[in-house]
Amino acid sequence: MDHMLSSIKSFHELPDTTRMQYYSRDTSHGVAYYTNFDLYKCKEANWRDSLKVHLGPTPPEPEYVPEVCKEALAEWGGEVVKVGEELMGKLCEGLGVERERSKKMSFFDTRYMSGHYYPYCPQPELTVGLKWHTDPVVLTVLLLNEVVGLQVKHGEDWIDVEPIPGGLIVNIGDILQMISNDEYKNVEHRVLANPSREPRVSIPVFFTSSMTENLYGPLPELAFSEKPAAIVNSLSQILWKNTTRRNCMTSL
């Protein structure tokens, strides 16, 4: 975990001329490096840089992966799959569904990582690190360094999430809320701009589906007369609704 955090930090602190060789929004090779993923859709810019890497089922083309974090990505990519699968097994059991169910369906076959870097912001009250949102995926496993900034919404309040050394944060995504028929709830969260001289490093791995036009709804055994199916949507609709909602509302 420390190796993964340090390698992402090292990449973002490479000389500008070196990092710019990787700058692209094109993910066709499995790797992209950019500042704002929704630059042309949102009114505000997020105060962060991101390295996005598709981990599976098809790995990225090796020549497009920065050398400084190639080894750590391979190691963490393998370990986080074990974590994600174990979590989904436990979550399925919590619903009264066999733990192997997620492996038999198409909603958990894709994973990608974002290595976020939140540099020092001299006027953090004027911007955000990342606007509030929910994750339009099944599950997110998040690795953080010790710099605070993540907040989750509880009622009407925003609560700081204190990083725990050696710990991971797990977010329930929109798809898991849907397939659980609202038994599991997604979580609204945001990241404040970083007032610390120490950069904040955040490495979420998203578990989701590659079948964006498939219709997803509650598992059949979780929809019954007393609690009918709450939502049926395609993944592309979930992505669109999530983005539209964030664009129409303010974070702070």
CATH of the domain at 169: 2.60.120.330
Burial state string for 26-37 with b = 16 or more CB within 10 A and e = fewer than 16: eeeebbbbbebe
Domain count, the chain: 1
Query: Could you tell me if 218 and 178 are in contact, meaning their C-beta atoms sit under 8 angstroms apart?
Result: yes
Residues in the chain, how many? 252
CA torsion through residues 60, 41, 196, 165, sign: negative
Report the pLDDT value the prediction gives residue 252, as an integer from 0 to 100. Answer: 29
Report the pLDDT value the prediction gives residue 243, as an integer from 0 to 100. Answer: 47
Question: In angstroms, how far apart are the furthest CA atoms of the chain?
Answer: 61
- Domain extent, residue 37, equals 2-248
Chunk the chain into consecutive blocks of 10 residues (it has 252) and report each block's average pLDDT, rounded to whole numbers: 97 96 89 77 78 92 95 95 93 90 75 97 92 93 97 96 94 91 93 97 92 66 68 51 44 30
Query: Could you tell me if 194 and 122 are in contact, meaning their C-beta atoms sit under 8 angstroms apart?
Result: no
Query: Cα–Cα distance between 174 and 134 in angstroms, integer?
Result: 7
**Burial of residue 66 (number of CB atoms within 10 Å: 0-12, 13-18, 19+):** buried
Q: 232: how many CB neighbours lie within 10 A of its CB?
A: 12
Query: Cα–Cα distance between 94 and 78 in angstroms, integer?
Result: 25
Residues 6+ apart with CB under 8 A from 165: 146
